A and B are shown apart, each in its own frame.
Chain A
C-alpha cells in the first residue's frame, strides 16, 4: 500500500503561535481522507504545506514521495488543488479560465470539461464576475476534475454553497472516487458529507491531530456516559488519568463523560463514583465532533429581560 501523502511531525509557527503542531499522517493511494476541525484549527495551513505554498517550521511532508516544499512541475501536474473560496480571475470568461488552466496540465480532458460545464449550464462566454458563488464553485470543480488528477486536494470546497449545489458537488466527488486509483484529501465543516465520502477522518484541534482513524471507527468507539447523582456530582479522581477521556462536564446532578474505546475500566470507574443511574449513549458524527473540539463547557449567559415587568420588553412590543 503506497502513500500518496505523508507528513512527519509537520509543524508551523507564525511568530510565537503554533498553528500546526507536529502532525503525522498518511493518505494511501485510492483513499479519501476527510480533514475536520474548527475554524483556525490549522486545516488550511496544513493543506498549504502539502502543496509547498507554506514552508514548515519543522518536519516535512511528501506528495508522491517528493518533498512537498520542492515539488517538481511533473508532480504538480498530477495534483489538483481547490483552494478555499474557489479563487478565479474575475475578469476572465469561463472559456478564458479554461484555456488558462488547461495550459498547465497535459492530461487535461476537454470532453469531460465540456460535459461538466454543459451539465451545470455554464456557457464559455459567461464572465466569471457575473457568476454566483455556487456557479464559481462549479467552474472551479470542473477545472479540477478535467485535469484528471491522481490526487485531489480540496480546502473547504462546499463553503458558502447552497444545499443543492453541495449535493451536486458530492455526487461529482463520488464519481471521481469510483474511478479507481484517485486519492482525495478534503477539509470540511459539513460532518454529514464527510461521513458519506471519507474512508478516514482526521480532526485537528488547535493544530494538533487528535483523531486519525477510519470514519466508522470514530463513531463506533466514542460514547457518552451519563451518570446521575442525587446531589452535585463528585469530581473525577485526578490520578491515575483516565485513558480515552475526551471531555467531562457537570450538568446539574449529572456527570457527562465522553469516552473513546469505552470498556470495562471505564465502566468500573463510573460505578465507583456511586451514581444513581448510568447510561451509555452513542453519538452521531456531529455530536462526537463537537465533544472533541468544544473544549470545557461554558454555558451561554442567561439573557436578562425575560420578566414581564421589564421596561425594554414593553417598549419593544408597541408598534
Chain B
C-alpha cells in the first residue's frame, strides 16, 4: 500500500498518515505482520521531515496498531480486543448514525442505504464473527 500526502490539505501531515494506515488495515491492504517502510524510507519517499513520520508511527504504536521490533523494523500489529463490548457497540452505533443521517438527507430509502452498506462491505477485510 502506498502512503501519500496532500500538502494543501487542512489535515496535518502526521494525521493523514495515521488515517491512511487505519484505512489500509481496514481494507486489508495492510496485513498483520506486514513490514512497513522505516521512518527514513518513508520520509524519503514522501519528501517529508522524518519527525513527522516518526510522530505518526508513535501514535499508531500507542494505539496498538503497529509495533516496532528492534533491529527488524516496523510491523502491522494483530488486531486486539482491548475495549469493552459495550464501548465497541456504542462507537459502531455512532458511526452508523452518521451514515444514516447522510443517507436520509440525500433522499435514499432505508433499503437502498442498507444494500449500499452490504455492497461496500465486500471491499473490506473483516474479523471472524465473535460470539456475544
Contact = CB atoms under 8 A, between A and B. Distances in A.
Contacts of B8: 192, 284, 286
A142 interface: no
B92 interface: no
Contacts of B9: 284
A287 B7 CA distance: 12
Interface string B6-40: 01111111110000000000000000000000001
A175 B45 CA distance: 11
A192 B7 contact: yes
Prevailing SS type, chain A contact patch = helix
Given A216-B12, A219-B12, A284-B10, A167 B50 contact: no
B87 interface: no
Contacts of A195: 7, 13
A174 B12 contact: no
B42 to A, nearest CB: 11
A175 B44 contact: yes
B41 to A, nearest CB: 10
Nearest to A184: B49
Contacts of A287: 10
A212 interface: no
Interface string A188-204: 00001101111100000
A283 interface: yes
B48 to A, nearest CB: 5
Nearest to B48: A196
A169 to B, nearest CB: 10
| Size bracket of the A interface | 20 to 34
Contacts, number: 54
B44 to A, nearest CB: 6
B51 interface: yes
Contacts of A197: 48-49
B96 interface: no
A171 B15 CA distance: 21
Contacts of B50: 174, 177-178
Contact of B51 (A199, A282, A283): A199
A175 B50 CA distance: 10
A195 B9 CA distance: 11
B74 to A, nearest CB: 16
A282 B16 CA distance: 14
Q: Which of B11, B15, B49 has most A Cβ within 10 Å?
A: B49
A198 B49 contact: yes
A153 interface: no
A171 B12 contact: no
Contacts of B5: 196
A47 interface: no
* Most chain A CB neighbours (cut-off 10 Å) among B12, B44, B50: B12
Nearest to B15: A216
Given A174-B43, A178-B40, A178-B44, A196 B10 contact: no
B7 A174 contact: no
Interface in B48-66: 48-52
Interface string A276-288: 0000001110110
A288 to B, nearest CB: 9
Interface of A: 32, 167, 170-171, 174-175, 177-178, 192-193, 195-199, 215-216, 219-220, 282-284, 286-287
Interface of B: 5, 7-15, 40, 43-44, 46-52
Given A193-B7, A286-B8, 6 more contacts: A177-B50, A196-B13, A196-B49, A197-B49, A216-B12, A282-B11
- Would you list the 8 A-B pairs with minimal beta carbon distance, nearest first? A192-B7, A216-B12, A282-B10, A284-B10, A196-B48, A170-B47, A197-B49, A219-B12
